[in-house]
Amino acid sequence: MSDNRFMRTQALLGEESFSKLEHSTVMIIGLGAVGGYALEALARAGIGKLILVDFDKVDITNINRQILALDSTIGIKKTELAKQRVSEINPSCKTIIKDMFVNAQSIENLLSEPVDFVVDAIDALNPKCDLIQALYQKKIPFISSMGAALKTDPSHIKLQTLNKTKNCHLARFIRKRLKRRGVDISKILCVSSDEQTNLPETALFLEEQEAPCNNTRQRHTMGSLPTITAIFGLVIANAVILSLSKLEK
C-alpha cells in the first residue's frame, strides 16, 4: 500500500516544492508552548530532518498550553517526547535530539552542523539574544517568537521584522540589546502580538522553575492562553514551510 500521509500537502504545493521540504533540515530550539506547536506542524508538513533542542522536562504547569504535556508525560524530557511524537507522525523523518541549555557558551557547537532553518522558541532573555545574534552573524535563516503571554486577541498576531514590533515587553528588551551588539533589527523576522494588554495583577506572579544542573530559579511568570501560544507556533511553522518550499507571498 502506498503511503499517502502527505498527499494533501503535496497536492497543494506541487511535487517539486514538497520534495524541498523532504530534503530540508529544521532546528527547533525550545519545545514548550510555541515550539511544540511549531514542531507539530513541521513534522506534519513532511520536513525530512528535525533537530530538537531543549533541556527541560514536562511539568504539571505546562499542561494548559504545551502539546507535549499530558498527565502521563509529567517528568519526562521534552526532547524524548518530541522525538517519539515525530516518529508517530512521520517515521521517515530523521530526528536528532539535543538535551542542552542554550547560552553563549553552547551556541557555537549547537550551530556547527548545517541547517536550512532555525525556529527560536526560547523565552529566556539573555540566551535568546545570544542565539539571535549568532544566527544573524552566521546568516542562518530563522524566525524568533516574541512574547505570547498575557495576550488574548489572535487578530493582533503578526509575522514581521523586529523593528516593527510594538506592545511587546520581550521584543522591546531584545531590540535594545541587539542594537547595542550591532545587529540590524530590521533583518530579524519574528512573530509577535501588538495587542495592548490591560490585565489584573494576578496575571503576573513569581514561580520556581527548573534550571540546568538540577538547580531551580525564581522568575516572573505570566499568565497565558493555549490558543495564543499555539497560534504563534503555527504562524512560525507556516512561514518556514513557505520559505523552504519557495512559496513565499
pLDDT in tens, 85-133: 999 999 999 999 999 999 999 999 999 989 999 999 998 999 999 999 9
Q: Are 159 and 234 in contact (CB under 8 A)?
A: no
- Does residue 157 have a pLDDT over 50? yes
How confident is the model at residue 1, as a pLDDT? 40
In this prediction, residue 190 carries a pLDDT of 98
> How far from each other are the two terminal CA atoms of the chain, in whole angstroms?
36
Q: How confident is the model at residue 197 (pLDDT cuts 50, 70, 90)?
A: confident
Q: Which pLDDT value is given to residue 132?
A: 98
Question: Domains in the chain, please, with CATH?
Answer: 16-198+225-244 (3.40.50.720)
Residue 42 clears pLDDT 90, i.e. is over it: yes
pLDDT at 3: 84
pLDDT higher than threshold 90 for residue 26: yes
Give the rounded percent of residues in the chain with a pLDDT score beyond 70: 89
pLDDT digits (tens, 9 = 90+) for 212-244: 555 555 556 788 899 999 999 999 999 999 999
| Residues paired with 117 in a beta bridge | 26
Task: Please report which confidence band the pLDDT of residue 207 belongs to, taking 50, 70 and 90 as the band edges.
Answer: low
pLDDT score at 221: 76
Quote the pLDDT of residue 116. Answer: 98
